[in-house]
């Protein structure tokens, strides 16, 4: 037994870690050269795989069916009446407080929605919206849903307040939808 | 030994002027191509496209970059030493272009009844000319880093100085083998001496040493310590902007072309083609350019592959591995040359 107290004596449960050879010497130079060649092969293989870039404005990543994009208001397909009855439940559910609804009574001469009342004003401030989808959940008539559009940037803050007419219209440019299993 | 090599013909004085203008034009034309090629290739190496927005396939990207840099406000830090701060990029640019003149693009050609050598000058001292200008070029970096009056610039300049001095020794010694085998210093005659076999085969060790030191001499990855972005912002050119920065950038790429050209001339047979193919004289420059571009591709490939060296690794590699290896290579070559003559 050595009397050298600085020497570390491993215990029985110590794992011996296999380390890589130390650099330097002829073996080190040979390894460095070989590893360099291996690295060159690795990078060249990336060239032959081709670019993975999606050139965004021209190519778009398809969104999933449950993607929560810009809201849309809906009409009944047969009668053309608005589904929204102006109940303001969406405004009540909205955590960002970005929906403003002003209801008005339907009259026989001026019938807008299927219920008693309709939304005379329906505005969503998309600058404040957090796209949580609670409005869609709160709506008893499925009048408001989250669409698939996500390109909503604008130059002016007031342009981001979407009115009822804008929300009722079909979006100008459709966002590609991911098909089943894609 | 005369300053100019004995070429057995005389060029009229105006040919020299025309040649220097053409060489300058070629350098100015090729650097943007190399720049774009590098960025495009680097993109491909990283699963990207590289620049592809300006012009068709991004071909106008270098033009846009140059216009952007040239129209910027000339900016000078208040701590800078004005005269040297302006002079340093000019030194870099001038020496790089002067070294470019020595690369032979072909043999003597008969153009409009005049005997014209397809190179800037064929000096009798050959590669020593390149090393001379390489040594002066280092003042461009050094003065630029020091005159900027910034600590990052100064650190970068110090690193550049140490690195260039260390690797220039190995670079020079790696070429000694070629010079002894060819028995001449003139670059055109070295090319002609390779008609049997390119020197890359008998002088393979010298070739490897030259390539490694060429990376270090041009401050390219993995030896880009003088401008290590992560540590020094941009090294010696941190405080430079606009046209002065463009000069440094331009000089760096001309230097890449120069070392590629020297490597092609010394080891890859210059304008000669393998397997005894002997095309007419006007093809020679294109052969040289093709070989230079192969080399530039290799530069980019290495840049995409290898990480930057640590500073002590750089120094120990230069002095402890490359220098002894280059000396040994020169010694063995000398013995072989003497034994076989």
The domain tally of chain A equals 2
Cα–Cα distance between A117 and A106 in angstroms, integer? 5
Q: Crossing angle of helices B284-305/B13-45, nearest 10°?
A: 30
Of all residues in chain B, the percent with pLDDT exceeding 90 is 3
Q: CB–CB of A29 and B321 under 8 A?
A: yes
Q: CB–CB of B47 and A55 under 8 A?
A: no
Indicate if A108 and A156 belong to the same structural domain: yes
Residue B85 C-alpha, separation from nearest chain A C-alpha, in angstroms: 39
| Contact partners, residue B176, CB within 8 Å, separation at least 6 | B206, B326, B329, B330, B333
* Range(s) of the domain holding residue A113: 71-168
A113: in domain: yes
| Contact partners, residue A87, CB within 8 Å, separation at least 6 | A101, A103, A117, A140
Q: CB–CB of A43 and B304 under 8 A?
A: yes
ipTM above 0.85, yes or no: no
Mean pLDDT of B145-167: 85
A138: in domain: yes
Q: Pick from A39, A42, A46: which is nearest to B47 by CB? A: A46
Indicate if A41 and A114 belong to the same structural domain: no
Confidence of residue A100 (pLDDT cuts 50, 70, 90): very high
Residue-wise pLDDT for B36-78, tens only, equals 999 999 999 999 888 888 888 888 888 898 899 889 888 888 8
The domain that holds A135 is classified in CATH as 3.30.70.3270
A102: in domain: yes
Q: Which residue has the higher pLDDT, B126 or A110?
A: A110
Q: Tell me: cis bond preceding B222? Omega within 30 of 0 counts.
A: yes
**pLDDT score, position B217:** 84
Q: Write phi, then psi, for B28 (nearest 5 degrees).
A: -65, -30
Indicate if A43 and A76 belong to the same structural domain: no
Residue A95 in this model has a pLDDT that exceeds 90: yes
In the block, which residue shows the tokens 């870039």?
A: A53
Query: Which of B44, B208, B323 is the best substitution to test chain A (most A C-beta atoms within 10 A)?
Result: B44
Mean pLDDT of A137-164: 88
Indicate if A42 and A109 belong to the same structural domain: no
Indicate if A75 and A142 belong to the same structural domain: yes
Secondary structure (H, E, C), chain A:
CCCCCCCCCCCCCCCCCCCCCCCCHHHHHHHHHHHHHHHHHHHHHHHHHCCCCCCCCCCCCCECCCCCCCEEECECCCCCCECCCCCCHHHHHCCCCCEEEEEEECCCCCCCECCCEEEEEEEEECCCCCCCCHHHHHCCCCCEEECCCCCCCCCCHHHHEECHHHHHCCCCCCCCECCCCC
Q: Crossing angle of helices B284-305/A25-49, nearest 10°?
A: 100
Query: Which of B40, B207, B300, B304 is the best substitution to test chain A (most A C-beta atoms within 10 A)?
Result: B304
Instruction: Give the residue numbers in B contacting A (CB under 8 Å), as ranges.
Output: 41, 43-49, 52, 301-302, 304-306, 321
A60: in domain: no
A173 touches chain B (CB under 8 A): no
Indicate if A39 and A80 belong to the same structural domain: no
Indicate if A45 and A115 belong to the same structural domain: no
A30: in domain: yes
Of all residues in chain B, the percent with pLDDT exceeding 70 is 92
Indicate if A164 and A75 belong to the same structural domain: yes
A44 touches chain B (CB under 8 A): yes
A175: in domain: no
Indicate if A44 and A133 belong to the same structural domain: no
A16: in domain: no
**pLDDT score, position A99:** 92
Which pTM value belongs to this model? 0.77
**pLDDT score, position B1:** 44
B275 to B19, B197, B272: CA distances (angstroms): 31, 10, 10
Interface of A with B in 47-76 (CB under 8 A): 47, 49-53, 55
Residue-wise pLDDT for B281-296, tens only, equals 677 788 888 889 998 9
Indicate if A34 and A113 belong to the same structural domain: no
Strands (E) across chain B are located at 108-111, 114-117
**pLDDT score, position B114:** 65
Residue-wise pLDDT for B293-341, tens only, equals 998 999 999 988 988 888 888 888 888 888 888 999 999 988 988 888 7
């Amino acid at each position: 037994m050595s009397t050298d107290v600085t020497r570390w004596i491993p215990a029985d449960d110590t794992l011996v870690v296999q380390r890589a050879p130390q650099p330097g010497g002829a073996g080190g130079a040979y390894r460095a050269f070989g590893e360099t060649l291996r690295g060159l092969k690795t990078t060249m293989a990336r060239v032959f795989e081709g670019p993975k870039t999606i050139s965004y404005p021209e190519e778009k990543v398809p969104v999933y069916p449950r993607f929560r994009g810009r809201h849309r208001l809906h009409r009944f397909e047969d009668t053309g009446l608005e589904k929204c009855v102006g109940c303001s439940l969406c405004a009540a559910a909205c955590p960002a407080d970005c929906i403003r609804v002003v209801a008005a009574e339907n009259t026989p001469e001026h019938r807008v929605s299927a219920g008693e009342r309709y939304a005379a004003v329906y505005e969503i401030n998309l600058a404040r919206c957090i796209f949580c989808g609670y409005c869609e959940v709160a709506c008893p008539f499925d009048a408001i849903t989250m669409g698939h559009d996500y390109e909503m940037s604008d130059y002016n803050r007031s342009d981001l307040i979407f009115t009822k007419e804008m929300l009722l219209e079909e979006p100008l440019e459709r966002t590609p939808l991911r098909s089943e299993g894609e | 030994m005369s300053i100019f090599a004995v070429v057995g013909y005389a060029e009229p004085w105006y040919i020299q002027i025309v040649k220097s203008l053409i060489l300058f034009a070629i350098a100015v034309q090729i650097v943007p191509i190399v720049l774009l090629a590098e960025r495009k290739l680097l993109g491909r190496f990283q699963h990207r496209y590289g620049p592809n927005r300006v012009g068709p396939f991004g071909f106008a990207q270098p033009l846009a970059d140059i216009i952007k840099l040239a129209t910027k406000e000339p900016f000078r830090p208040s701590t800078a030493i004005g005269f040297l701060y302006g002079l340093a990029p000019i030194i870099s640019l001038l020496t790089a272009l002067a070294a470019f003149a020595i690369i032979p693009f072909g043999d003597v050609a008969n153009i409009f009844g005049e005997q014209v050598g397809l190179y800037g000058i064929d000096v009798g001292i050959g590669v020593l000319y390149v090393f001379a200008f390489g040594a002066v070029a280092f003042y461009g970096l050094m003065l630029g880093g020091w005159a900027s009056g910034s600590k990052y610039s100064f650190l970068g300049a110090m690193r550049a100085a140490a690195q260039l001095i260390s690797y220039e020794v190995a670079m020079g010694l790696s070429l000694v083998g070629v010079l002894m085998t060819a028995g001449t210093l003139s670059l055109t005659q070295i090319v002609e001496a390779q008609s049997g076999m390119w020197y890359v085969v008998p002088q393979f060790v010298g070739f490897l040493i030259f390539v490694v030191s060429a990376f270090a001499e041009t401050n390219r990855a993995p030896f880009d310590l003088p401008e290590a972005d992560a540590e020094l912002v941009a090294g010696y050119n941190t405080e430079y902007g606009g046209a002065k920065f463009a000069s440094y950038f331009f000089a760096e790429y001309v230097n890449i072309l120069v070392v590629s050209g020297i490597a092609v001339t010394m080891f890859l047979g210059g304008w000669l083609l393998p397997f005894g193919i002997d095309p007419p004289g006007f093809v020679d420059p294109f052969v040289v350019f093709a070989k230079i571009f192969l080399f530039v591709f290799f530069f980019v490939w290495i840049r995409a592959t290898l990480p930057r060296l640590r500073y002590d690794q750089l120094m120990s590699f230069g002095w402890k591995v490359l220098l002894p290896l280059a000396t040994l290579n020169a010694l063995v070559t000398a013995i072989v040359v003497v034994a076989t003559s």
